[in-house]
Amino acid sequence: MHFADVLPLQSGASIRAYDLSYETYGTLNADKSNAVLICHALNASHHVAGVYLDDSGAIAPKSEGWWDTMIGPGKPVDTDQFFVIGVNNLGSCFGSTGPMQINPDTNEIYGADFPVVTVQDWVNAQARLLDALGIQTLAAVMGGSLGGMQALSWTLQYPERVRHAVVVASAPNLTAENIAFNEVARRAIVTDPDFHGGHYAKRGVLPQRGLRIARMIGHITYLSDDVMNEKFGRQLRDAANGHESGYRFSTQDVEFQIESYLRYQGDKFSEYFDANTYLLITRALDYFDPASAFGGDLSRALAKVTAKFLLVSFTTDWRFSPARSREIVKALLDNQRDVSYAEIDAPHGHDAFLLDDPRYMGVVRSYFQSKVAV
Amino acid sequence: MHFADVLPLQSGASIRAYDLSYETYGTLNADKSNAVLICHALNASHHVAGVYLDDSGAIAPKSEGWWDTMIGPGKPVDTDQFFVIGVNNLGSCFGSTGPMQINPDTNEIYGADFPVVTVQDWVNAQARLLDALGIQTLAAVMGGSLGGMQALSWTLQYPERVRHAVVVASAPNLTAENIAFNEVARRAIVTDPDFHGGHYAKRGVLPQRGLRIARMIGHITYLSDDVMNEKFGRQLRDAANGHESGYRFSTQDVEFQIESYLRYQGDKFSEYFDANTYLLITRALDYFDPASAFGGDLSRALAKVTAKFLLVSFTTDWRFSPARSREIVKALLDNQRDVSYAEIDAPHGHDAFLLDDPRYMGVVRSYFQSKVAV
């Protein structure tokens, strides 16, 4: 959808005109009261559910939406009942206006000139999409990780437009350690000689070295130590013959399975993800901090919230630990808000929010059926 | 000290001749029974205690040994009583033979041709140094982190030469997550265009970009989430005027104090540390796994140990967690060995092993006075 009106941004800058890519699933009911907005995290998109067909009409390989376990007909967020909207955020690289597109002011690719966008800006842009779709009030806004921050921000920026917020594996802000990991990833990208200050596209190169490192760091923080040990442990990729240890004794070749896995993830990511988008989205994560305008008091910050909440966290998630979700729960309870909270004892770390755990799915299904359903 | 004899390495390769840099503190007693060997971790050296004087005879700034809180006259490892030896490991970059030095086979700088060395190789080289110093038996071998692995390996490789092993903030091997962090750091170095396959010295360049990233990653894993929040939290480096948030809204400039700290640490490190050494030492960490020759059974692996042990771990150390030290304790107890264990409730993460915590210092002091002292 094209938006011709200027979007003022939190930074004071603005975007003159922009497009948002979105997908919808299910049917909007007559009184437009069954809409559920799904907000995405770092590297995801508007394609939250379902599959794509190729030209022959067959299901395209690996085309499942990123939250297809959660959303669809008969699934926890049941598209037979709800009208689900997935939207790609501004500054991303999956169709919505972002750094890889043409800056109408200069007729050149934005690159590093794309303005810094925040969670608040994304929510404002999403609200305009809802306006255009004729939806005044969301039955629910839902997201995991950075998507959960958007869901929380919705309840602050547009309290009257949100009945329920479902915030999964998220946090009220990043810790110093979270920011530190983001910063290392950004430095890897920015110091890649192919980055050229963010104007690599003009030069026909891509800072893929930096993106690979950024993605490898990310992957380590998405997984738990436990699940890494279980999946990979100290297994060698291909034990060398002729030495009892099985080691190849090389500092540069792959020795362990975990190395092979990380290199593969880094390579894959560096082929489809835009480096400037990576910088923008990690910065949006860093900046999110609704309590900061209230001297760090999250309870005061959430006083204006009227939505009902479901929060979910995962015990082994050390990126956005259960303690961070509990901070939100406490701040909502301090305001006597209606809040449900589930802490799932799952071994998968932060990644658990994308996985098909029956207890997790059951909690979300039950919440939507008993509380969100109209 | 120069060693003219070939040193066979675990990999099957060998080093023809080599030098080891070492320092000693205190006086070796008449029966040579009071020697304590200190093994260093990733980026440390033989300079474990004391200070250096500059040409004018004044104390050179920042010249304290890396474990000066622990070792010296009247300190927990009391050099009035013990003869302490610090030695720089083979492959390091502080004076012992390593990748920055001339390969006698080619008369060129070793660079990436320096052979892969392991904890076992280091211990063998250290044993030759003791031979040359006329020391048959160590009162104690001691180290933290990777240094603790060397101390543990001493008790397996030369059980009859070690009376006590003091193993601090260490582990019987690396987890998949540990290896993963090492691998990302190595990839940052190896994919730096200035790395040139490890032969950067010949070209007069240094892969400093990669070293910076490697060090930043390292630093995050040395600190605890708690101490990072306490030291840095979400503090801005220099709040921008004119915007209520205080943010500058930049993806490439420093916004938060933690970013500034990490960049500084990375810059500093990249100016003195050798990239090939970083690869070698992280690989030595990856490879260490005494239980592997016993089907992963650490108790069986430690059956031949005769030394008495002190193990120390720190509650917030997530790089080498207390659980990893307890694995060693359990394996020693399974063999009815004499083992003391202290778990210090310190907030500083892995770095705690280098800090001056009175409980930690007290435990080590007490162990040396009551058990090691002859």
**Average pLDDT in the B162-173 region?**
98
Distance, first Cα to last Cα, chain B: 28
Neighbouring CB atoms inside 10 A of B202's CB total: 11
Other beta carbons within 10 Å of B244: 8
CA distances from A91 to A40, A112, B174 (A): 13, 11, 39
Q: What is the pLDDT of residue B164?
A: 98
**Distances from the Cα of A368 to the Cαs of A66, A103, B332, in angstroms?**
19, 41, 53
3-state secondary structure A169-234: CCCCCCCHHHHHHHHHHHHHHHCCCCCHHHCHHHHCCCCHHHHHHHHHHHHHHHCCHHHHHHHCCC
At a CB cut-off of 8 Å and minimum separation 6, what does B268 contact? none
ipTM of the complex: 0.95
pTM: 0.96
Nearest residue of chain B to residue A177 (CA atoms): B225
CA nearest B275 in A: which residue? A251
Angstroms from A220 CA to nearest CA on chain B: 7
Residue A243 has what pLDDT? 73
**What is the average pLDDT value for chain B, to the nearest integer?**
96
DSSP tag of A315: T
Chain A nearest CA to B276, separation (Å): 9
CA atoms within 13 A on the CB side of A17: 8
* Cβ proximity of A146 and A42 under 8 Å: yes
What average pLDDT does this structure show over B260-270?
Answer: 97
**Half-sphere exposure in the Cβ direction for B15 (13 Å, CA):** 30
Nearest-angstrom CA–CA distance, A68 and A48: 6
Catalytic residue among A192, A274, A317, A351: A317
- Quote the DSSP letter at residue A281: H
A228 to chain B, any CB pair closer than 8 A? The answer is yes
User: What pLDDT does residue A374 have?
Assistant: 67
pLDDT at B241: 65
Q: Among positive and negative, which fits the CA dihedral B69, B71, B76, B80?
A: negative
pLDDT of amino acid B244: 73
> Exposed, middle or buried, A133 (CB in 10 Å: 0-12/13-18/19+)?
middle
Query: Residue B242: what pLDDT?
Result: 66
Chain A residue with CA closest to B217: the answer is A184
Question: For every residue of chain B, which 3-state class applies, written as one string?
Answer: CEECCCEECCCCCEECCEECCEEEECCCCCCCCCEEEEECCCCCCCCCCCCCECCCCCECCCCCCCCCCCEECCCCEECCCCEEEEECCCCCCCCCCCCCCEECCCCEECHHHCCCCCHHHHHHHHHHHHHHCCCCCECEEEEECHHHHHHHHHHHHCHHHECEEEEECCCCCCCHHHHHHHHHHHHHHHCCCCCHHHCCHHHCCCCHHHHHHHHHHHHHHHCCHHHHHHHCCCCECCCCCCCCCCCCCCCCCCCEHHHHHHHHHHHHHHHHCCHHHHHHHHHHHHHCCHHHHHCCCHHHHHHHCCCEEEEEEECCCCCCCHHHHHHHHHHHHHCCCCEEEEEECCCCHHHHHHCCCHHHHHHHHHHHHHHHCC
Q: So what's the pLDDT on residue A245?
A: 79
Whole-angstrom Cα distance, residue B90 to residue B15? 10
Which of A234, A250, A317 should we substitute to test contact with B (largest number of B Cβ atoms within 10 Å)?
A: A234
Q: Which has the minimum average pLDDT: A184-198, B237-251, B270-284?
A: B237-251
Tell me if chain B has a CB within 8 Å of the CB of A229: yes
pLDDT at A318 over 80: yes
Q: Do B287 and A245 touch (CB under 8 A)?
A: yes
CA distances from B42 to A219, B90, B224, B319 (A): 24, 12, 18, 13
Q: Is the pLDDT of residue A27 over 90?
A: yes
| C-alpha to C-alpha distance for A186 and B50, rounded to whole angstroms | 39
Contact B184 A228 (CB under 8 A): no
pLDDT digits (tens, 9 = 90+) for B287-302: 999 999 999 999 999 9
Interface mutation vs chain A, best among B249, B257, B289, most A CBs within 10 Å: B249
B258 touching A (Cβ < 8 Å): yes
The string of DSSP codes covering A235-247 is -BSSPPTT-TT--
Please count the other Cβ atoms lying within 10 Å of the Cβ belonging to residue A350.
23
Mean pLDDT value across residues A282-311: 97
Q: Which residues pair with B237 in a beta bridge?
A: none
pLDDT over 90, % of chain B: 96
Bridge-partner residues for A71, per DSSP?
Answer: A77
Q: In B, which residues are within 8 Å of A277 by CB distance?
A: none
Q: What is the percent of chain B where pLDDT is above 70? A: 99
**Element at A344 (helix H, strand E):** strand A339-344
Q: Is A145 a catalytic residue?
A: yes
Nearest CA in chain B to A176: B233
pLDDT tens-digit series, residues A202-255: 999 999 999 999 999 999 999 999 999 999 999 998 877 667 778 999 999 999
Tokens of B18: 């080599």
| pLDDT > 90 fraction of chain A, expressed in percent and rounded | 96
A247 and chain B: CB distance < 8 Å anywhere? Answer: yes
- Under DSSP, the state recorded for A302 is G
Q: Is A63 one of the annotated active-site residues of the chain?
A: no
pLDDT on residue B374: 67
Q: In which band, very low, low, confident or very high, does the pLDDT at B42 lie, cut at 50, 70 and 90?
A: very high
Give the minimum alpha-carbon distance from B339 to chain A in angstroms, rounded to a whole number.
Answer: 27
Q: How far apart are CA B227 and CA B372, in angstroms?
A: 33
How many C-beta neighbours within 10 Å does residue B287 have? 26
Q: Is A323 on the interface with B (CB under 8 A)?
A: no
* Active-site pick, A47, A164, A348, A350: A350
Please report the pLDDT score of residue A238 as a whole number. Answer: 81
Best of A222, A237, A249 to mutate (most B CBs within 10 Å, chain B): A249
If you average pLDDT over every residue of chain A, what do you get?
Answer: 96
Mean pLDDT of A360-366: 98
Contact of B16 with B6, CB cutoff 8 Å: yes
Angle of CA points A40, A44, A50, to nearest 5°: 90
DSSP letters spanning A345-359:
--SSGGGGGGS--HH
Given A96, A145, A170, A325, which residue is catalytic? A145
* Cβ contact, residue pair B174, A234, below 8 Å: yes
What angle, 0 to 180 degrees and rounded to 10, lies between the N-to-C axes of helices B208-222 and A176-190?
170
A12 inside 8 A of chain B by CB: yes
The span from the first CA to the last CA of chain A, in angstroms, equals 28
Asked if A251 has any chain B CB less than 8 Å from its own CB, the reply is: yes
**Residue B80 — φ and ψ, nearest 5°?**
-75, -20
Specify the pLDDT at position B144: 98
Interface test with A, best of B177, B191, B231 (most A CBs within 10 A): B177
